[in-house]
Amino acid sequence: MEEPRSECPINAAVEALGDHWSLLVLRDVIFGDRRYFRELYAGSIEGIASNILADRLKKLVAAGILNREDAARGARARYSLTEAGIQTLPIIFALGNWGLDWRDGTSELRIRQELMRAEGHRFIEEFMDELRVRHLGAAPAKRRGPGPLERLSAAYKQATRGPN
């Protein structure tokens, strides 16, 4: 990891997360549950170039935000969020809320953020717990009904289907 420009915690966060591609890669790992290079590359709605994706994955691993599980020869390497990566969810949530308020977008791509906003911080905490189960192997919490990721996916699917 490179030497930071200053000791400021905001600078430290910006240096680890500050470019848009890193945040979009994290978005796709968190919300799309994309864990492999090919999934991230093929699923990028913004059209990330393969060399940029490879660079950002290396930087996120070096920053301790993602882990890269070494794969056997011929197998695909799998990426997982670290606790630091999971802790980016409230940041991404805040950025999404700003985007809802100040930028235009399609209803299909806004629906998940609108659901998270409506559900509030408790939903974000539940989502972080679900990410810990998926990425860190934590014991799942007992819950009634679908978890946050399933609810977000269902809202997106409903929005892309349109009115019945």
Residue among 9, 43, 25 at smallest CA distance from 81: 25
pLDDT tier, 162 (very low <50, low <70, confident <90, very high otherwise):
low
Is position 154 within any domain? yes
pLDDT in the model for residue 75 = 81
Is position 1 within any domain? no
Is residue 164's pLDDT more than 70?
A: no
Handedness of CA 107, 117, 87, 145 (dihedral sign): negative
Express each pLDDT in 122-151 by its tens digit: 999 999 999 999 999 999 988 889 999 999
Q: Which of 17-21, 29-33, 155-159 has the lowest mean pLDDT?
A: 17-21
Tokens of 2: 């490179």
Last residue of a domain, one of 25, 58, 81: 81
Regarding whether 107 and 68 lie in a shared domain, the answer is no
159, amino acid identity: A
Tokens of 97: 């809320």
Express each pLDDT in 65-119 by its tens digit: 999 998 777 789 999 999 999 999 999 999 999 999 999 999 989 999 999 999 9
Instruction: Look at the block and give the residue holding tokens 């949530």.
Output: 93
Last residue of a domain, one of 57, 81, 105: 81
Last residue of a domain, one of 81, 110, 127: 81
Instruction: Look at the block and give the residue holding tokens 């235009």.
Output: 104
pLDDT in the model for residue 163 = 61
Total Cβ atoms within 10 A of residue 40: 22
Regarding whether 148 and 95 lie in a shared domain, the answer is yes
Phi and psi torsions of 31, nearest 5°: -90, -30
Is residue 161's pLDDT more than 60?
A: yes
Q: Tell me the average pLDDT across 24-52.
A: 96
Regarding whether 32 and 95 lie in a shared domain, the answer is no
pTM for the whole structure: 0.91
Is position 3 within any domain? no
Domain span holding position 114: 88-161
pLDDT tier, 1 (very low <50, low <70, confident <90, very high otherwise):
low
Handedness of CA 2, 81, 56, 96 (dihedral sign): negative
* Overall domain count for the chain: 2
